[in-house]
């Protein structure tokens, strides 16, 4: 998976591209750290418009991001979730944990 | 300076031997001298040199044969052999290499080239030795790993009771993608004959996923046997997993409590695919979507243990399965998908849809090649109650019951009535009094029947007739929940006491509720064999287990006497 980090004002947008599974572990962590370590960032948006698959380890990585963001008082949202991505997030009831659109 | 080598020099001409050995000694190496091929083989066997310089034409045994013999002796160990020969044809060189030589120098020997060749061979030999050592380590590691994995598998299977015989009502299949399964199915009856089932899928697969399900099965079996409700068990599982596992690990699970005499199924679904109740004709009567996140994510305050209950009026099966089934792909990269699951469940077939579903999945993608763990469970739900306590004539107990005067009394106010799982707590106390397993089970049954009556029909004033009307069960449950949540006043008092009645040790149980009471006589005089499924069946069952059951007042107080001998 490829991830680009777009920082604009107080928001960091992580644009994810491809299959989000265990092999994306390092890239995802690096992208999260980049966003978390930028002092002016108040909100992280993970954009799923170009993600065609995510597995349970991807859900685990999102939980880690949520924990780190909570510790730093940042908001996390998951955006452009459609198709299979939306189904997986629905079954896991992640709307109870994240703002999802 | 290179590491000194021990070099076997083979030549039948003394001046050649002298020249080469003197030169090699100057390079800092030691030599062994052999004068024909046979000597070379013998010396090799005795002293295993690091390298061989081999003449070709010699008496007794020539250099080709000697090299072939040395190769045989060396086995897997690589010893460089350099031919030194006056024979300079290409065909000689080829033959030398074919029998196992590594290089070929023609005589007269150019000493600087010989030195360079020795050094090159030494480098290769060292590399070879390195690789051989690593290969050996790897092999040891592999064997060790194999042993440890076998032990881990053995232990895990014991802990999750993989070999526990199936309950006859349960059909199940777990197909691990690797040696270890992150999916488990466990079933156990509560003391009052409610079947608890869990199908859990730990994130990931392999050993680490399998480890995650260990605390799950331990808690599930332990709490079910003690009679805890599904909600209490799920809450405990969630907090246990959250406490034990790192943030990114969680366990998706569907749990069900099946009450065969009430014909009800209570389900909690956290992050698992939709569960279905399918009747024997293949009609889907009820579905339970994932209503909660998987276990181990929410903290205790935000965790919801709310379950959803269904009463079946046609015989059928409850189906639970993991996402490995839905997401399994065939060779063309298509997923099995929910639609195919539903299609298979809708088939009416003699052996039941469980095997039909497995056959369909197997035909679609070949179940043995799955990349994720797959698990499927079907629980058969017939119309006639199963597993009900069969009342046997009292067996005289071999060991006399020790006399005791212990007494436990407690009062529950609305706060506790709403949330406290009181029965397992009472059973724990009874267990301390050293009753046998059958006695504990029967006492649990008596307690749970009488307590639930006191709560539902006493404090909450629910009409039991409602349950048995058409579609009444759902309304009954809704009303029960509504009244319980809004409960402001009311209480239940429970008293358990060891007494002697006519010199027989007994447990006396008294439950009093704040309700209006009811006319108990009609029910108490019903014969159990004639009561098909009317209101009050529970009380009749209690009566058959007890020496005496009476309602001394207006019906809001019951006293039951259970003989311990």
Pairwise CA distance, residues B484 & B507, whole Å = 30
* Region of B467 on the Ramachandran plot (φ > 0 left; ψ -120 to 50 alpha; else beta): alpha
What is the model's pLDDT at position B387?
A: 55
Residue A10 neighbours by CB distance under 10 Å = 12
Cβ neighbours of B271 in A, within 8 Å:
91-93
Cβ neighbours of B270 in A, within 8 Å:
93
Pairwise CA distance, residues B107 & B118, whole Å = 16
Q: Cβ contact (<8 Å) for B290 and A91?
A: yes
Closest chain A residue to B291, measured at CA = A93
* Tokens, residue B473: 């069960």
Closest chain A residue to B252, measured at CA = A92
Rounded to a whole number of angstroms, the distance from the CA of B34 to the nearest CA of chain A is 60
* Tokens, residue B516: 């209006």
B290 contacts A92 by C-beta, under 8 angstroms: yes
Task: Give the residue with greater pLDDT, B400 vs B460.
Answer: B460
Confidence of residue B2 (pLDDT cuts 50, 70, 90): low
Mean pLDDT of B275-279: 94
B62 contacts B92 by C-beta, under 8 angstroms: no
SS3 readout for B269-313: EECCCCEEEEECCCCEEEEECCCECCECCCCCCCCCCCCEEEECC
In the predicted model, what is the mean pLDDT of chain B? 87
Confidence of residue B134 (pLDDT cuts 50, 70, 90): very high
What is the model's pLDDT at position B471?
A: 76
Would you list which residues of chain A are within 8 Å, Cβ to Cβ, of chain B?
Answer: 22, 56-57, 59-61, 63-64, 67, 90-94, 96-97
What is the model's pLDDT at position A90?
A: 94
Closest chain B residue to A66, measured at CA = B247
- In order, the DSSP letters of B138-190 are HHHHHHHHHHHHHHHHHHHHHHTTTTSPPPTTEEEEEE-SSSS-SEEEEEEE-
Cβ neighbours of B204 in A, within 8 Å:
22, 56-57
Cβ neighbours of B302 in A, within 8 Å:
96
Cβ neighbours of B297 in A, within 8 Å:
63, 97
Mean pLDDT of B144-160: 87
Residue bearing tokens 């083989």: B41
Pairwise CA distance, residues B369 & B491, whole Å = 58
pLDDT digits (tens, 9 = 90+) for B484-537: 999 999 999 999 999 988 888 899 999 999 998 887 776 777 655 554 445 567
Q: Which of B204, B248, B293 sits opposite A97 (nearest CB)?
A: B293
Q: Cβ contact (<8 Å) for A92 and B204?
A: no
ipTM for the whole complex: 0.91
Q: Is the pLDDT of residue A8 over 50?
A: yes
What is the model's pLDDT at position B531?
A: 46
Mean pLDDT of B476-484: 90
Residue B472 neighbours by CB distance under 10 Å = 15
B213 contacts B250 by C-beta, under 8 angstroms: no
Q: Is the pLDDT of residue B192 over 80?
A: yes
**Four-CA torsion B52, B58, B61, B62, nearest 10 degrees:** 60
Mean pLDDT of B459-483: 85
> Residue B461: is it exposed, middle or buried by C-beta count within 10 angstroms (0-12/13-18/19+)?
middle
What is the model's pLDDT at position B391?
A: 46
Using the Cβ of B297 and the Cβ atoms of chain A, whether some distance falls under 8 Å is answered with yes
Phi, psi of B78 (to 5 degrees): -95, 120
Cβ neighbours of A94 in B, within 8 Å:
293
Q: Which of B247, B249, B250 sits opposite A67 (nearest CB)?
A: B247
CA distances to B55, B332, B351, B367 from B359, in Å: 70, 19, 12, 9
pLDDT digits (tens, 9 = 90+) for B391-444: 444 454 556 677 788 899 999 999 999 988 898 888 888 877 777 778 888 888
Residue B265 neighbours by CB distance under 10 Å = 26
B518 contacts B555 by C-beta, under 8 angstroms: yes
Mean pLDDT of B118-142: 91
Q: B77-105 b/e with 16+ CB inside 10 Å = b?
A: ebbbbbbbbebeeeebbebbeebbbbbbb
B181 contacts B324 by C-beta, under 8 angstroms: no
Task: Give the residue with greater pLDDT, B458 vs B535.
Answer: B458
Say whether B396 sits in a helix, a strand or coil.
coil
Q: Is the pLDDT of residue B188 over 80?
A: yes
């Amino acid at each position: 998976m490829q991830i680009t980090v777009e920082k604009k004002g107080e928001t960091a947008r992580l644009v994810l591209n491809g299959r989000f599974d265990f092999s994306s572990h390092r890239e995802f962590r690096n992208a999260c750290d980049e966003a978390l370590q930028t002092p002016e960032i108040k909100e992280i948006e993970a954009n799923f418009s170009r993600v065609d698959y995510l597995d349970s380890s991807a859900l685990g990585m999102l939980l880690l991001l949520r924990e780190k963001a909570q510790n730093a008082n940042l908001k996390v949202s998951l955006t452009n979730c459609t198709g299979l991505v939306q189904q997986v997030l629905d079954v896991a009831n992640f709307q109870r944990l994240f703002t999802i659109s | 300076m290179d590491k000194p080598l021990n070099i076997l020099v083979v030549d039948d001409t003394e001046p050649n031997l002298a020249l080469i050995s003197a030169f090699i000694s100057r390079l800092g190496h030691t030599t062994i001298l052999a004068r024909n091929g046979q000597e070379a083989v013998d010396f090799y066997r005795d002293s295993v040199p690091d390298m061989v310089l081999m003449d070709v034409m010699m008496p007794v045994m020539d250099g080709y044969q000697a090299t072939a013999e040395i190769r045989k002796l060396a086995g897997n160990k690589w010893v460089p052999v350099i031919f030194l020969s006056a024979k300079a044809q290409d065909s000689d060189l080829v033959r030398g290499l074919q029998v196992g030589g590594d290089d070929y120098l023609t005589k007269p020997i150019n000493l600087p080239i010989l030195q360079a060749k020795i050094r090159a061979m030494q480098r290769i030999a060292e590399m070879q030795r390195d690789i051989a050592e690593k290969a050996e380590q790897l092999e040891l590691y592999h064997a060790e790993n194999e042993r440890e994995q076998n032990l881990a598998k053995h232990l895990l299977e014991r802990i999750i009771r993989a070999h526990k015989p199936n309950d006859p009502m349960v059909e199940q299949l777990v197909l691990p993608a690797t040696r270890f399964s992150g999916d488990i199915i466990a079933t156990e009856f509560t003391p009052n004959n409610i079947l608890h089932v869990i199908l859990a899928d730990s994130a990931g697969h392999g050993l680490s996923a399998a480890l995650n399900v260990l605390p799950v099965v331990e808690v599930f079996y332990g709490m079910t046997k003690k009679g805890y409700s599904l909600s209490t068990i799920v809450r405990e599982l969630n907090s246990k997993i959250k406490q034990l596992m790192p943030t990114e690990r969680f366990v998706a699970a569907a749990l069900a409590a099946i009450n065969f005499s009430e014909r009800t199924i209570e389900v909690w679904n956290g992050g698992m695919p939709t569960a279905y109740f399918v009747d024997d004709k293949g009609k889907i009567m009820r579905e339970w979507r994932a209503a909660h996140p998987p276990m181990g994510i929410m903290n205790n305050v935000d965790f919801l243990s709310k379950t959803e209950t269904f009463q079946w009026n046609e015989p059928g099966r409850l189906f639970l399965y993991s996402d490995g089934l839905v997401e399994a792909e065939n060779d063309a990269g298509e997923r099995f998908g929910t639609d195919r699951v539903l299609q298979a469940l809708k088939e009416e077939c003699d052996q039941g849809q469980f095997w039909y579903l497995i056959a369909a999945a197997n035909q679609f993608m070949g179940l043995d090649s799955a990349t994720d763990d797959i698990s499927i469970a079907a629980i058969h739900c017939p119309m006639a109650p199963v597993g009900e306590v069969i009342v046997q004539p009292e067996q005289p107990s071999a060991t006399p019951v020790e006399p005791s005067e212990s007494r436990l009394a407690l009062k529950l106010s609305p706060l506790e009535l709403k949330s406290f799982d009181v029965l397992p707590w009472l059973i724990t106390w009874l267990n301390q009094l050293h009753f046998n397993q059958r006695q504990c089970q029967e006492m649990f049954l008596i307690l749970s029947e009488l307590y639930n009556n006191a709560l539902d029909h006493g404090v909450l004033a629910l009409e039991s007739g409602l349950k048995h009307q058409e579609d009444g069960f759902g309304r009954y449950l809704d009303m029960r929940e509504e009244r319980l949540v809004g409960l402001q006043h009311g209480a239940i008092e429970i008293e358990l006491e060891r007494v002697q009645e006519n010199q027989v040790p007994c447990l006396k149980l008294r439950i009093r509720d704040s309700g209006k009471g009811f006319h108990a006589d009609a029910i108490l005089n019903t014969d159990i064999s004639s009561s098909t499924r009317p209101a009050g069946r529970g009380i009749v069952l209690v009566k058959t287990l007890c020496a005496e059951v009476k309602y001394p007042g207006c019906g809001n107080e019951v006293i039951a006497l259970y003989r311990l001998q």
